[in-house]
Structures are given as structure tokens and as C-alpha cells.
Chains A and B, each alone.
Chain A
Amino acid sequence: MTQRFPALTAFLTALFALVVLPSPAAAQLEGTVTDDSGRNQIAVAVPALPTPQVLPTAAGTTEQLGKQISDVIVADLRSSGLFDPVGRNRVRAIGYSEVTSPAFPYWSGRNVESLIQGFVRSNGDGKLTVGCYVYDVALGSELSRHGFIVEPADWRRAAHKCADSIYSRLTGESPFFDSRIAYIAETGPKDNRTKRLAVMDSDGANHRFLTSGGTALTPRFSPDYKSILYLSYSGGSPAIYIYEIGTGKQRLVTRTNNATFAPRWSPNGRNILYSMAIAGNTDIYRISANGGRTVRLTNSPGIDVGGSYSPDGSKIVFESDRSGSQQIYVMNADGSGQRRISFGGGRAATPEWSPRGDLIAFTKIAGNFRIAVMRPNGGGERVLTNSWQDEAPTWAPNGRVIQFFRTRRGSGKTSIWQVDVAGGEERRLKTPVDGSDPAWGPVRP
């Protein structure tokens, strides 16, 4: 078999290898299907991934995995809002020999613009090889091919990597599906909520609670996913801890009798921003992730809180009420050059700098709480959501999608939502219980 399909094996070299072979040049696809927002959606067919031989694995047979991987790819593409994917229940199954020689006339007769074909193979060492091919139906040509070698238990990651390769190839944007989210899982009555630290994949799968009871707030994944900064009341007062995911160990970021909260990582993970209240006055401080000396970055008599680094680490956007109400300010990373950027009316809170650097997402408070974006100079404000209380935006690693949490009036019940930064439909992310304070991590290597 492998001799008949050398392309299927030539590019598979390393553990979870991602090797891109040169692809024939092809024009960027133009969509023809239009959704409610007036944006073009790309029609994509994703048949089940066939297998050269049905073999059992630790996560099911290779045939079952081929179907499940197709389903995850379809769900990923649909969630982006940029695609109109057609899954295995609505298209015919393909054979293994067809993977590298698609039936282009068949697909073009079904209004498919892009065709995704791939395969699942169980290797002798117990690992899986997942192939992922993107074809342009109209041109009758291959746009990209990738192969991923994973443990069977990590089959979803191979699906996300495949979806990422499709998304990147067809939209020209950076990938984001193979990433994780830390958030706060909420249960219990409004006046006595239990708030637990939890993590999940970007699509809600592989969910895990990391703490058991009490009150945990405002988590942030470290850039390498090895640890999480978060606030806990476990010591009786609000204090910031670093939770090591591998070991479950945690330690205080800084030892102090003052309240510390609103923790944030620097882009390289070496520094931590936090807010500390001394005698009621809150300012923003920086400390090395390894501890050591604390550097005070703000010293206004107002509340200076939060903070989010620009992607290059040179600037910090933060929130202050020094003008009399919550507004957004930018300063250099050493605290110098502080200046207000939000003048859009109402109050502006919880700024988060896009990983692309081009926009700042924030909570706009004017009556209701809405998610909005503006340029780092304060211009070009756009409001993206409209509900009673939407709060605390966090960016997808490619800077195209924003997650936030929504509080329901009265019950106080919370849920996690996401919206495309270009606007359009808001989508709710399924979580086992109520969810708040989402924090999106980077694309996994």
C-alpha cells in the first residue's frame, strides 16, 4: 500500500510531526455562500478519513477515529463562522486510494469549493498517523498536505491541527484551533458560588477541574501551558498563585499581607503583572516569574488595575479610574509614558491586547456591559456584542476571535461565548457547569 501512495508517508518524520511539502500554487478561494452577516463562507466537504487497515487502538479502531476526526474538523471550521462545512453524514465515504486522487468532477457537481481528505493509520509503535489534504475543487489541485503522528489518546489534537491547516490555507490567517482555555467553573447559589479553576480544549473537549472548592478567579495560562496564574481565597484573602499543571503544586507569586489580584503573564512568560491594594489604593506591579524584586509601575491615587502586554512586550494597556471613572491607558513596559486612550463614552475596562497587536479588546460600560475593540491609539472603536452584561474579553491566539463571559440578569448565571472580531454571530461554548473568566492560551507547538 505505501508503495502505491508514497506521498502518504514521505512527509511523516517526527513525533507529532508537522511537515509542509511544497504545494502547487493556487489562487485564494473566493466564497460564494453568504451568511447573515453578509460575509462569504467557504463551502468545504469533509468526508470521513479512511484507513488503510482497520486496526484497534487505545482510542478505538482506526475506522472510528477517521469518522471522529472528520467530525471535529467540521465542528472547528463551523465555529469559526468562515466556513460552510459538510460532514460525513451528508457526503459519500471515500476509499483510501482516493485520498491522494480526489474525484474532482463529482465534488464540483455538488457545489463544493474545497475538499478535505485524509487518512488514519495505526503505526507499528502504537502511534497514529493522520494525513490531512486540502484540495481546490474548481482548480482540481492540491493546496496543502500535512501529516501528524500522535498517541491515539491525542487524536483530537491531530483533528485540530488538520482544521488549523485548512483554516490557515483558505483564509490566510494564523491558526488557533489547537489551543486550550483556562476558565472558572461556577456552581451554587448566587450569594455562595463555588468557583473552581478548570481547563479545556478550545472546543470544550478534554475538560478538567483543577481545584475542588472555594473561590478561584481570573486564571491565565502561561505561554508554555505549564502553569496557570490565578486568584484564590484559599488563604482567607485574595492572593495570586501559580498552579503547576504537571504536578498540581502551587505557590504564592509574592508574599505580602496586602491583597493581590488581576495576574497577567508577559508574552515570554518571564514576568508577571499583578495588582496590589495597599491601604485601599490599588496599583500595578511587576515581578519575575521566579520571584524576587517587585517593581511598581503605577502610582496614581486612583485604582490602577489589570494590564495586558503588547505582543512585543514593549507596552502595557491597563485600566485606571484616575480620571474619575474606569478608562483605558497605555504605558511603556517600565511604567513610563502613561496616557489615556479610551474616549468613546461611558466607562472602559478589562483591556486585552490582541496577539496580532492591531487591536485592544475591552469591556465597554454604558448602561449594559458590551465587548468592544479599538486600535491601540484609541481610534476605530467597534462594539461586538449586545447583552445585559458581557465582560472580560480574551483573544484567540490568532487575534481573530474573542471569547468573553456573559452574566444573566437576576440569576447571576454565567456562560462563555465567543464572537468573530469582524462581527457576526455570537456562539456559546458548552461547559459542564456555568463558566466565567475565560483565558485563551497560545497555539500548541
Chain B
Amino acid sequence: MKKLSTPLIAIALAATMAGCAKKPPETLPPEPVDTTSGSDTDVDPTANQQTGPTPGSQEDFVATVMSDRIFFDTDKFNVDGEDQRVLQSQAQWLSQYPNVSIVVEGHADERGTRDYNLALGERRANSAKNHLITLGVAASRIRTVSYGKERPQALGSNESAWAQNRRAVTVTVR
């Protein structure tokens, strides 16, 4: 797969999800102002932009897989067909780089109480982890961490933003 920039991936992803109730809405809100904060956007500083991302890097991962994240319904943590295709693409990439480990970050939207959201983030991260294991990724390569509602991706207080924030994000660790 030829590399795509992250926004293009996001738009393509959004397009494939049109009409699916649980997914982020068809019309994406503006990009977050600050994209340097979350670990999900970290890039390999050694990557050379002119020749493409370094193979096996986080940037390569993001550019190659369908998406680095899956999304959930309110209070839900099940992995549906769309999520399975995303995780399949992640597992495929991971099979090419057996030395790369991952952290799956589980997140909740702001419309939940703090402790419950921490538990919910754990559930979501483990759902993604368990599915990756069924796809052949060794459990020893996967760590989970829940951020509850502490690290929103979309900053609004509306259904569209909340749908983007109920997520499990895969981040590579070298």
C-alpha cells in the first residue's frame, strides 16, 4: 500500500464508515489544534519524509494500516466487523515486524464518570488486544493502558466528538 498522509487516511476511513451509527460521523469536525500531545500521533524522528517512513516505524505503521484505532458505541467494548478489518490490517503489519511491540490505549468519551471510564478504557483496550491475539499477534507483544476520559482526541462536547473519543488506539513501541 502506498503511503498516505494521516488526514487522508482519516477521510478515507470516515467515508467507509458513512451510515454506520457507531462510527464517527460522516462530517468530521476540524482537526484538533494540537496534534503533538497524544502518543498516538508520535512519529519516528528518523523517518525521512522524502523516501517514505522508515519500515517498522510508527509512521510506517500509521501509513500502512487501515487505521491505528477502532471505535466503540457508548458504554460498549465489542469489536464489530469494521473493527476486525482494521485490526486485521494491524496484525498483518505486525507480522512483518516481529520485533515491534505495541501499546493499545483504551479511551472513553467525557460523558462518563472518571473511575468508570478508566475501567471502560481497560475493557476497550483489552477487546482490541484479545482480537489481535486471535489474529496471531503474540500476547507478550501487547500492553494495554487505559486513559479513561483523560486524553480526548476530538475536543467538542457533541455526539460527533464523543464518537471519535470512544476508541482503542494502537501505538508501536520499538
Contacts and interface: CB of A to CB of B under 8 A. Distances in A.
A191 B145 contact: no
Contact of B150 (A193, A325, A409): A193
A350 interface: yes
Given A280-B126, A410-B156, A412-B110, A275 B119 contact: yes
B72 interface: no
A399 B104 CA distance: 42
A315 to B, nearest CB: 19
A189 interface: yes
A402 interface: no
Contact of B116 (A237, A319, A410): A319
Contact of B34 (A192, A303, A325, A389): A192
B125 to A, nearest CB: 7
A326 B38 contact: no
Interface in A248-298: 259, 261-262, 275, 277, 279-282
A238 interface: yes
Interface in B64-104: 75, 77
A371 to B, nearest CB: 12
B113 A392 contact: yes
Contacts of B111: 369, 389
Interface in A178-229: 189-193, 195, 215, 217-218
A191 B37 contact: yes
Interface residues of B, number: 32
Nearest to B161: A410
Contacts of A392: 113-114
Contacts of B23: none
A321 interface: yes
B140 to A, nearest CB: 12
A262 B115 contact: yes
A261 B116 contact: no
B75 A325 contact: yes
Contacts of B157: 388, 409-410, 412
Nearest to B113: A349
A437 B118 CA distance: 14
A369 B120 CA distance: 18
Contacts of A325: 75
Nearest to A410: B157
A319 B118 CA distance: 13
Contacts of A190: 152, 155
B114 A280 contact: no
B125 A191 contact: no
A306 B115 contact: yes
Interface in B33-58: 33-34, 37-38
A292 to B, nearest CB: 24
A409 B111 CA distance: 10
Contacts of B122: 259, 277, 280, 282
Q: Which of B32, B37, B153, B157 has the most CB of A within 10 A?
A: B157
B24 to A, nearest CB: 16
A282 B144 CA distance: 14
A259 B115 contact: no
A437 B145 CA distance: 21
A409 B144 CA distance: 29
A257 to B, nearest CB: 9
B146 interface: yes
Contacts of B155: 189-191, 412
A415 interface: no
Interface string B151-163: 1110111000000
Contacts of B77: 280
Interface in B110-152: 110-111, 113-116, 118-120, 122-123, 125-127, 130, 144-146, 150-152
B85 to A, nearest CB: 22
Contacts of B114: 217-218, 391-392, 437
B123 to A, nearest CB: 5
Given A215-B150, A303-B119, A410-B157, A237 B113 contact: no
Given A192-B34, A261-B118, A363-B113, A280 B123 contact: yes
A236 interface: yes
Contacts of B126: 277, 279-280
A192 B37 contact: yes
7 contacts: A191-B34, A192-B151, A215-B150, A280-B77, A280-B127, A303-B120, A391-B114
Interface of A: 189-193, 195, 215, 217-218, 231, 236-238, 259, 261-262, 275, 277, 279-282, 303, 305-306, 319, 321, 325-326, 349-350, 363, 365, 369, 388-389, 391-392, 407, 409-410, 412, 437
